[in-house]
A and B are shown apart, each in its own frame.
Chain A
Amino acid sequence: DSGVTQTPKHLITATGQRVTLRCSPRSGDLSVYWYQQSLDQGLQFLIQYYNGEERAKGNILERFSAQQFPDLHSELNLSSLELGDSALYFCASSVGRVNSPLHFGNGTRLTVT
């Protein structure tokens, strides 16, 4: 158990809809990362937050947004969903120090029909 909690585990929704994925980091971790894993793809970095502030942005679509709240949990919002958004979405956390390993949750599997 990594200590990172992601909800829900599975999500099935229709194209054009909006969903919110939630992540609670490990106790004491200030940094939260979101990654997307599509079929036959590696983990694609989406966005990083540190203590409530956005720190780094990767290949995140404009239809996607995220935030980190004062209690350090984070939410990833996906809107105007398309079939191609179907993927595993992982949240990871770390203490935020350089070279500290990321600890991943078990992911949310999103299926867009």
Chain B
Amino acid sequence: DQQVKQNSPSLSVQEGRISILNCDYTNSMFDYFLWYKKYPAEGPTFLISISSIKDKNEDGRFTVFLNKSAKHLSLHIVPSQPGDSAVYFCAAGVSGGSNYKLTFGKGTLLTVNP
């Protein structure tokens, strides 16, 4: 049972435009969400996170939006740059308790064309 779903395996956008990556989750217990970026031959790198008490978190060109009623979050990258080309993973976790762990989606390959 896949609790975190990224339904788009790939996305291609032009440099300077907005990239929107989407993620859906099914577990109502998730209350903390993160996005990771992964380049080939490297491990995932933490990008941005959001707690369920917020509906938006912004960090430079990256903004994450959370819609709890729809169990949906999205990552917006504005403006997109060729260096943003990577696989983006959505992850979710349950805060509280000592066994904090993250559940990841399968990832979306973003290609930003010059």
A14 at the interface (CB under 8 A from B): no
B62 at the interface (CB under 8 A from A): no
Measured CB to CB, the nearest residue on chain B to A33 is: B101
Shortest B40–chain A CB gap in Å is 11
Measured CB to CB, the nearest residue on chain A to B43 is: A104
Set of chain B residues within 8 Å of A35, measured between Cβ atoms = 104
- What separation, in Å, do the CA atoms of A55 and B100 have in the docked complex? 8
Shortest B37–chain A CB gap in Å is 11
Q: Is the CB of A99 within 8 A of B101?
A: no
- What separation, in Å, do the CA atoms of A21 and B96 have in the docked complex? 30
B34 at the interface (CB under 8 A from A): yes
A106 at the interface (CB under 8 A from B): yes
Q: Is the CB of A102 within 8 A of B46?
A: yes
Shortest A98–chain B CB gap in Å is 5
Residue from A42, A50, A101 within 8 A of B104 (CB atoms): A42
- What separation, in Å, do the CA atoms of A90 and B43 have in the docked complex? 7
- What separation, in Å, do the CA atoms of A99 and B96 have in the docked complex? 9
- What separation, in Å, do the CA atoms of A50 and B95 have in the docked complex? 16
A43 at the interface (CB under 8 A from B): yes
Most buried by B among A45, A58, A102: A102
Q: Is the CB of B42 within 8 A of A43?
A: no
- What separation, in Å, do the CA atoms of A98 and B44 have in the docked complex? 19
Shortest B8–chain A CB gap in Å is 13
B69 at the interface (CB under 8 A from A): no
Q: Is the CB of B100 within 8 A of A2?
A: no
Shortest B18–chain A CB gap in Å is 24
Scan residues 76-114 of chain B and give those whose CB is less than 8 A from a CB of chain A: 89, 91, 93, 95-107
A11 at the interface (CB under 8 A from B): no
Q: Provided the pairs A2-B43, A43-B89, A107-B43 are in contact, do residues A56 and B49 lie with their beta carbons within 8 angstroms?
A: no
Q: Which residues of A contact B (CB under 8 A)?
A: 2, 4, 31, 33, 35, 40-45, 48, 50, 55-56, 58, 90, 92, 96, 98-99, 101-107
Q: Which residues of B contact A (CB under 8 A)?
A: 4, 6, 32, 34, 36, 41-46, 49, 51, 89, 91, 93, 95-107
